[in-house]
């Protein structure tokens, strides 16, 4: 199929990014990809040409540069594994070097996943959500996610992840964008996220931190990794900046804080303070009662 053609009923192969028509006499689960013969197929939807051109123009507007703003904001919450941090930063640099050296027109997809049809669920926006901005963000994310996948196809120690992971102790399954492996024993989930202009800020990535850390916990429970380690790569196409965050259990308190909930340590302090105040109040009440009884008791004759 050429890029000029628009499929009326397209499918997308998650293994090789091939897009083609679903045969009229078959269901999505009844056939394999024409290119790689994979059965990992989803329903697809065409990306409007105007939206795609906008991001192609943005991608051609300048070079990507690393920005340590998020790392500095989380300097007390990121993993202390310096060796692994250095290795993941090297991989991230290779990804954005690929972005800088590649033609986005050739790598940005013309189709994206039709989430509603594939999952058979309707996405309902909250009242405060801007429908237009949400749609633009979704298209931006899917265009750059494919660009990201094309990049890691040529990088060692990182590969696509097209499967979900489940554990009885976890409510929701985990499906990272990629997996990093430096040995045959441990693998670490990688989540790739884009943010809107001027949103390369800590309070704008709370959900991304939570999602990435949840994936790290899942891999730890399945004995695929240790220390609940996960990698979050965040970038802002319009500001042309990116950052890498290596997460482990140290991030839990910050995630809780960003959600507007008190940390476990603060909750424990609050409970102790309330218990102490209650004990003081009870002691004062007993002392007042004892004094009252003493005043009302009959005086003994001398």
Note the pLDDT tens digit of each residue in 185-218.
889 999 999 999 999 999 999 999 999 999 999 9
By the 10 Å C-beta count (0-12 exposed, 13-18 middle, 19+ buried), 58 is classed as middle
Residue 302 has pLDDT above 50, yes or no: no
Mean pLDDT of the chain: 88
According to the model, what pLDDT value does residue 123 have?
60
- Give the number of other Cβ atoms within 10 Å of residue 260's Cβ: 7
User: Residue 60 pLDDT > 70, yes or no?
Assistant: yes
Residue 168, token pair as written in the block? 């009885």
User: Of the given ranges (71-80, 114-123, 203-212, 248-257), which has the lowest mean pLDDT?
Assistant: 114-123
Tell me the pLDDT band of 263, cut-offs 50, 70 and 90. low
Residues ≥6 apart with Cβ < 8 Å to 38? 13, 14, 15, 16, 32
Query: What is the per-residue pLDDT across 276-287, written as a single tens digit (0 to 9) for each?
Result: 998 998 888 888
Q: In what order do the strands lie in the sheet with 188-194?
A: 65-66, 241-247, 230-236, 188-194, 178-180, 158-160
Residues near 173 by beta carbon (within 8 Å), at least 6 away in sequence:
164, 165, 166, 218
Nearest CA to 49 among 131, 139, 132, 151? 139
pTM of the predicted protein model: 0.80
Q: Are 157 and 182 in contact (CB under 8 A)?
A: yes
């Amino acid at each position: 199929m050429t890029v000029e053609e628009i499929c009326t009923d397209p499918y997308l192969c998650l293994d090789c990014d091939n897009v083609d028509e679903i045969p009229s006499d078959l269901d999505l689960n009844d056939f394999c990809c024409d290119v790689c013969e994979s059965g990992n197929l989803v329903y697809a939807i065409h990306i409007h040409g105007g939206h795609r051109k906008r991001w192609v123009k943005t991608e051609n507007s300048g070079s990507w540069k690393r920005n340590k703003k998020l790392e500095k904001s989380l300097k007390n919450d990121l993993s202390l594994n310096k060796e692994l941090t250095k290795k993941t930063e090297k991989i991230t640099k290779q990804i954005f070097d690929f972005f800088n050296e590649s033609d986005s027109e050739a790598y940005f997809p013309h189709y994206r996943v039709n989430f509603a049809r594939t999952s058979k669920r309707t996405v309902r926006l909250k009242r405060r959500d801007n429908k237009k901005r949400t749609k633009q963000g979704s298209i931006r994310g899917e265009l750059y996610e494919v660009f990201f996948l094309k990049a890691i196809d040529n990088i060692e120690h990182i590969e696509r992840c097209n499967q979900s992971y489940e554990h009885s102790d976890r409510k929701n399954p985990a499906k990272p964008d990629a997996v990093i492996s430096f040995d045959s024993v441990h693998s670490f989930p990688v989540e790739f996220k884009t943010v809107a202009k001027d949103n390369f800020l800590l309070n704008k990535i709370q959900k991304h931190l939570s999602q990435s850390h949840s994936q790290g916990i899942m891999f730890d429970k399945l004995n695929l990794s240790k220390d609940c380690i996960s990698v979050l790569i965040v970038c802002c196409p319009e500001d042309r900046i990116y950052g890498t965050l290596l997460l482990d259990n140290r991030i839990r308190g910050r995630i809780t804080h960003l959600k507007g909930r008190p940390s476990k340590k603060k909750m424990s302090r609050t409970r102790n303070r309330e218990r102490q105040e209650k004990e003081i109040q009870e002691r004062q009440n007993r002392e007042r009662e004892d004094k009252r009884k003493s005043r009302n008791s009959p005086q003994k004759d001398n």
